[in-house]
Every structure is written in C-alpha cells, then in structure tokens.
Structure 1
Amino acid sequence: MKVIKVSDLKAGNRFSKPVYIDQENILLPPNVPLKQKEIDRLIRWGIETVTTEGDLLSEDSSADKSTKVALANILKAPLHQQFLKTYTTLLEGMQAVQSTVKERQSIDTTSIDKIVDTLIKVLKDKREEFVQYIFFENTGESTFAQNALHCATLSTLIGMQMGILQHKLFPLTTGALLHDVGMLRIPESIVEKQGKLDPKEAQTIKVHPIYSYTIIKKELNYSDEVAIVALQHHERWDGQGYPKGLSGKQIHLYARIVSVADAYEAMISKRPYRNSMIGYQAMKSLLSDNGRRFDPDVLKIFIQSMGIYPLGSIVLLSDSSIGSVIETNPESPLRPKVKILIDPKGVPVEGASAEVIDLEVEKKVFIVKAVDPATLGS
C-alpha cells in the first residue's frame, strides 16, 4: 500500500486503484479525477496522508484508454438483435403515420392500433430487454417518430407499474404515441429553429396541443380519452402550463403520465442544438421538480419503474468493475442488478461468462457513479 501526502495531491489526479482515507473509507474510485474541493476537505479535516495500491495515471494512460475502448466495443455489440426487427417495424409504422398526417391524407387507424398492440405486448413480455435496447443501443440524433415511440414506451411502463389493466393501457399508449402529432402542422421554420423563439413563434408552438387534439378526435376518430392526452400533456401540476392552465387532478391522469415520460425522453434524446443527458442525470433533474411541473405520485412511480440508474445505464462499482444496469429494484432504486462488462482488474467480460450482481444482496458493493457512454472509446 502506497502512502501519498495530501500536499502532493492535485486536482485532476487519477489513480488505477481506489484511494483510501482509512481502511474503510474510499476517497476516490479508480480512474475518477480528483476534485479540488475534495483536497480542500482533507486539509480542513486535518488528514495529512491517503493510501492506494494503484498508480497515478497520466492524461494519456494507455491502460485507461484500452479499458475505455474495450468497453465501448462491448457496448457496440448487438446484445439485443432480436429486438431490432420489432423496433424497426414500429418505427417505420410511426414514420408512415406521421407522413400521412403531415400531408393531410386520410389515415387508416388500423396501422396505429397495430403499433400500440405490438408495443404493449413486447413491454409485457420483454420489458427490461426492450427498454435497454431502445434507450441505450439505439443511439444517435433522435427523429420525431422516435420521440413519439419512446414517449409511448415510457408512458406504457408507468401505466403498467401503476397496475392499469391492459384494455385501459390502449388509450394511454395511443395518446402518448400521438401526443405531439399537432407539431406536424406547425411551420418547419419554427419547429427546427435552433435559436430562441420570438414571442409570436413561442405562441404558435403553444397551439400544437390543440392541433393534436383536433387531429386525434376529428381526423382519426379516436375517443376523447385518447385526445385529451395530447391536449393536456403540457399542463403543469402547479397550474402554470398550457393551453388552459389546469392544475393538479384537473389534468387527466394519462396526460400527467405522458408529461413525465415526455420530459424524460426529451432530456435523454440528442437534438441538433444540444447533446443528450445520460439517464442518471435526467432522473436527478426530474427529482428536483418538487411538485411544480409533475404529479409527485406519477413521478415516484416512474422512478420506481426505471430506477435512479435507468435500464441500460453504465455504472462504475466500488470494487472498480464497470457494468450495465439490467434490472431495476423498485424498493431500493440505488441498488439495481448490474451485468459486469469490465471486471475489477480491467479485463473485458463478454457473453455467458458475464457475472450479474444484485446490489441489494451484495451489500459491500455499491454504485460509485454513472458513466457517460459518449466518453468511451475516445
């Protein structure tokens, strides 16, 4: 064990193994940059030395880079190719629906119903695997059709977690799938504008829930239970939303569900004008809402369903291994099941040999932090 003087530590230092304050308390996990505030804290506490079995890593550490590249390669592998066909079929179906609406052609809603039925079935049978596929393996800049499909997926998950019966899930999933269809009637110059909208443009955007309601109700002939989702999904729990300024339970339950799903989906999706958040960051943002925008009960159920570290999240564990969250734990959101991708020695693990750790059982191991996949392999 090497002893390092606190006076020799510098902000940005990274070590190949954990750095300890004493035998039980970790100061710094491996490969994580030391922050100046952590050094200041040690000085304030009167701690003069720390210990580690690792080495100080340089900025261009080849070992660190090789681990990153190995992990990136594992994550690019077709872990869930069985879902590619299903996802592609759903996406192409949604693209066709949106194209027809945009061109103001008559629509056979059978195609929409088929998308909804397929989505509910796959989430009922293979929830974890499908969610991990669409929110992690399917990366890149998101399209309008993807946003609709992903929002419908999340909304359906919330509905299932709430115990909504399958025949009642249909209007929820349909409403979520079509919630932003009115945006297709907004001029593209406004929708695709990357700069700040002027007051007139902002007001035009705020009309889209009404357009969506009209399309769903009058053109597609769906029930008011479906259309109301689109009309109310921008209403806020505190009454500061639009178009009617409704508050609390004046807002339909399904619209309250879609509001949470839509916000999360927007944060984790890449846009032309900004990068996406990782799931953990998006969850932290939702948790800070404090009953302003979202129904607290719906938000709680969403977090129970997805976890603080959502399905597919890449996490660094306290034993120096790196893994992917494959199953959430509603009773203990900070302790999901994790599939190991890189073992504690930095060796990539693939296929059937990959260990799965249930952090609720393995109490000595815990998540140190979420890892942004965008930083891997660079």
Structure 2
Amino acid sequence: MRTIPVGDLKPGQRYTKPVFVDDDTLLVPESVPLKEKEIKRLEKWGISSVKTDGSLIRETSGLHDPGLSFFQRAFSSPDQKKVKDFYEGLSKRLNGIHQKIRDQDECDTNDIDDIVGQLVYHLEQNSKDIVQFILYGFQGNAGPVENALNSTILAILVGFNLALPKNKVVNLATAALLHDVGMLRLPDEISGKSGTLTDQEIQLIRTHPIHSYKIVTREMKYTEEIGVAVLQHQERWDGNGYPKKISGTDIILPARIVSVVDSFEAMVSKRPYRTSMIGYTAMRTILSDNARRFDPDILKVFIKTMGIYPIGSIVLLSDASIARVIEINVDSPLKPRVKVIIDAEGKEFPDDDGPVIDLHVEKSVFVAKAVNPNELGKKGES
C-alpha cells in the first residue's frame, strides 16, 4: 500500500481503491469523496498518514470539484452542463437586446423571436433539466436578463399545461420575455435601488408597464395582444394593481399568467439585496394569495405545472433520508418521484446515483419537509 500524508488530503478527493487509517480501519471506500470532518478527525487523533492501494481520481469538466458544496455536486451532471451552456448563450443574446433598448437603438425582433422559438422547442423536448437549473443550478444574482428568461420558461410550461395553441404559446412567451423592458428606460438609481423607495420613486416604477407597452408595440411592432399582456402584467385579480386597476377576466389571459410566473421567479431568484426562497416556500407563499393578486384558476394550473415541491427541490423524507425531487406527480402534488442524496443510514450519493423512490407508489415513506440547499451543503461538509 502507498502512504499518503494527512497534510496532502483535501475535501472532495476520491481514490480508486479504499483508503485505510491502518490495516483494519477503513477511512473511506473507493470512489467516495473525503469530507473535511474526516480529515480534521485524523489531525485531532494525531494520525500523520493514511494508506491505499489506489490512486487519486483526477476530476474532469468541473464535476465533483472539491470547492463545490455537497448539494451542488449533485447538480453538476453533463445534462445540467448542457442546460447551463444553452442558458448562458441565450442570456448573452438577450443582454445585447436589453442594451439596445436602454440606448433606444433599433432592436432586431428576429433575435427575440429566435430566443422564444428555441425556448419553446427545448421545453417541448426536456423541461425537467431546465426547470431544475433555473430554480437551483443558477448561482449568480438574477438581474433583468435572468428574470426575463426564467419568467418566459415558466410561462411556456403553463401555456403547455393549458393546452394553448402553438401560436398562443409563442405570443405568451414573447410577452413574458419583454414584460419588464420598460424598466430599462428608468434611471438605474431607481430601477436597481436596494433600499426603500420614496413615494415618488414608487410612482415612477409603476409607469414601467406603460413604457413596456410602447416599446413592444410602437418600436418593435409586436401585436396588440402581446402589448396588452405586457401592459397588464402588474394588474391584480382583485383590482388593486396598476397601471389601470382593472380586475378579474378584464385582465387578458397572458397577463394573468405572466403575473404568476413573474412573482414566483422573483421569490426564487437571488438578488444583490436579498437571498432567494426555496421552491417550496415560494409555492406556499403564492398559494396563500386567496384570490387577491392572482387568478385562482391559473394558480391551479401553476401547481400542476410546478408541483408543491418543484423539480430540483431538496426534501427530508419520513425515514430521515434526504432526496431531490426529479419528477412531479400531477395527480398527487405532495407525492413526487425523488432520488436519494443521503440515505437513512447517512450514506451519501454525491455522484447522483442514489435510489429513486416514487412516493405515490411507496406508501411507507412521505415528504416530512422541504430542506434549504444551504443546510444540505453544511450537512455534507460537517
């Protein structure tokens, strides 16, 4: 066996063969990442070296980077890498469009239409990985570009579940992508302010749907349906929204959808001035609306679309294991399909290869509560 100084061990390292403290005491099995607490325990016990017949596994493509939290390693699959590349490509293009709007330069709507078309196509093929990425895989602060893309993704999925015709889904997606472009014409010190807004600043912010409508219909020459959806997305079901304080079905359907998805997206996205909610908490907050802001029928479809525990959510099961939601159950929103990350005995599955449990079929296990990913990261490192 080769000897490895304890000082050379680092959290996240994996070896091709088991690593032993001595001839009889196993430290970690083969291919299982070392944890910081195990290294600290060796140091505390005064152990200077460990032994193994194996060699260090050299990680590639950034997967299982020791700098990643335990939670994030579970989200670093090749499929998520593809989604990340796709998302970042669209973000770069949309950022260019936003800059033109800020500068009041002419925008090529073919670029906007292509972004919408790509999102509709990819979500028809595979919505699960994309939803998981926007809820849990994206790690930066969400700005106007991310808000627009995420809202569009969610709006398209609601449109699918409403069985809207393809052209109506495209119109809905276009409205969702452009719903806040009017904010780009407001002073940065107001639109990006993290502190409390003055009454005057609030009134100025509330003009942004009108600016959005003018940009979408007059400058970009989109249809009145898309323009009105943009204009009305801040109206409320109870009539207490803005800019015109209309209510109920006087608000057109696309605007009622954008209202829900925009609010959910704002809750789950990290901002420079606040942290994000987990999907379950955001869903619970929206469900407590009681027909004040949102159309109750659209909320029902949104639940069907996202589930009570959205895809990617981390949950504590009744048997004390921790799992990730991989598929929602339309008929039983509280009983999704999950993949175990840490089982009841404490065994970890950082390679995302844990057992899959359909909670609708497996009656003996249920979701005890949703777990904040930051807590899981600490659990995996402690």
Fold shared, TM-score > 0.5 on shorter chain: yes
Aligned residues of 1:70 and 1:348 also touching (Cα < 8 A)? no
Summarize deviations over 1:170-206 as a string: whole Å, max 9, x none.
1100000000000001111111222211111110000
Which secondary structure does the structure 1 equivalent of 2:74 belong to? helix
Which secondary structure does the structure 2 equivalent of 1:304 belong to? helix
Matched letter for residue 71 of structure 1:
F
Superposition map of 1:295-306 within 5 A = 295-306=295-306
1:105 & 1:142 partners in 2: Cα distance? 24
Instruction: Name the residue aligned to 2:73.
Output: 74
1:76 & 1:331 partners in 2: Cα distance? 27
Count of residue correspondences: 315
Aligned: 1:313 with 2:313:
yes
Which secondary structure does the structure 1 equivalent of 2:377 belong to? coil
Return 5+ residue gaps in structure 2 as ranges.
1-35, 42-67
2:317 & 2:287 partners in 1: Cα distance? 23
Q: Check 1:244–1:73 CA distance in 2 against 1; reply closer, same or farther (3 A cut).
A: closer
Q: CA deviation at 1:375?
A: 2.6
Which secondary structure does the structure 2 equivalent of 1:376 belong to? helix
Instruction: Name the residue aligned to 2:28.
Output: none
Which secondary structure does the structure 1 equivalent of 2:369 belong to? strand
Summarize deviations over 1:8-50 as a string: whole Å, max 9, x none.
xxxxxxxxxxxxxxxxxxxxxxxxxxxxxxxxxxxxxxxxxxx
Q: CA deviation at 1:346?
A: 1.1
Q: CA deviation at 1:76?
A: 5.1
Instruction: Name the residue aligned to 2:135.
Output: 135
2:69 & 2:293 partners in 1: Cα distance? 41
Aligned: 1:214 with 2:214:
yes
Instruction: Name the residue aligned to 1:39.
Output: none
Instruction: Name the residue aligned to 1:255.
Output: 255
Instruction: Name the residue aligned to 1:245.
Output: 245
Instruction: Name the residue aligned to 1:98.
Output: 98
2:129 & 2:336 partners in 1: Cα distance? 15
Instruction: Name the residue aligned to 1:113.
Output: 113
Q: CA deviation at 1:81?
A: 1.3
Superposition map of 1:351-370 within 5 A = 351=351, 353-370=353-370
Aligned: 1:224 with 2:224:
yes
Q: Check 1:87–1:70 CA distance in 2 against 1; reply closer, same or farther (3 A cut).
A: closer
Q: Check 1:245–1:231 CA distance in 2 against 1; reply closer, same or farther (3 A cut).
A: same
Q: Indicate the RMSD between aligned Cα atoms, in angstroms.
A: 1.9
1:224 & 1:120 partners in 2: Cα distance? 21
Give every structure 1 segment of 4 or more consecutive aligned residues whose post-TM-superposition deviation is greater than 4 Å. none
Instruction: Name the residue aligned to 2:347.
Output: 347
Q: What is the identity percentage for the equivalent residue pairs of Structure 1 and Structure 2? A: 47
More displaced 10-residue stretch of structure 1: 273-282 or 250-259? 273-282
Instruction: Name the residue aligned to 2:56.
Output: none
Aligned residues of 2:148 and 2:176 also touching (Cα < 8 A)? yes
Return 5+ residue gaps in structure 1 as ranges.
1-60
Summarize deviations over 1:260-280 as a string: whole Å, max 9, x none.
000000011111221111011
Q: CA deviation at 1:134?
A: 2.1
Aligned residues of 2:128 and 2:326 also touching (Cα < 8 A)? yes
1:317 & 1:62 partners in 2: Cα distance? 25
Q: CA deviation at 1:331?
A: 0.9
Q: Check 1:229–1:350 CA distance in 2 against 1; reply closer, same or farther (3 A cut).
A: same
Q: CA deviation at 1:352?
A: 7.1
Q: CA deviation at 1:363?
A: 1.0
Summarize deviations over 1:261-306 as a string: whole Å, max 9, x none.
0000001111122111101110110011000000000011001110
Matched letter for residue 76 of structure 2:
A
Superposition map of 1:274-285 within 5 A = 274-285=274-285
Q: CA deviation at 1:77?
A: 2.7
Instruction: Name the residue aligned to 2:6.
Output: none
Aligned residues of 1:71 and 1:342 also touching (Cα < 8 A)? no
Matched letter for residue 189 of structure 2:
S
Instruction: Name the residue aligned to 2:292.
Output: 292
1:376 & 1:322 partners in 2: Cα distance? 9
Aligned residues of 1:74 and 1:341 also touching (Cα < 8 A)? no
Aligned: 1:144 with 2:144:
yes
Aligned residues of 2:74 and 2:351 also touching (Cα < 8 A)? no
2:320 & 2:132 partners in 1: Cα distance? 23
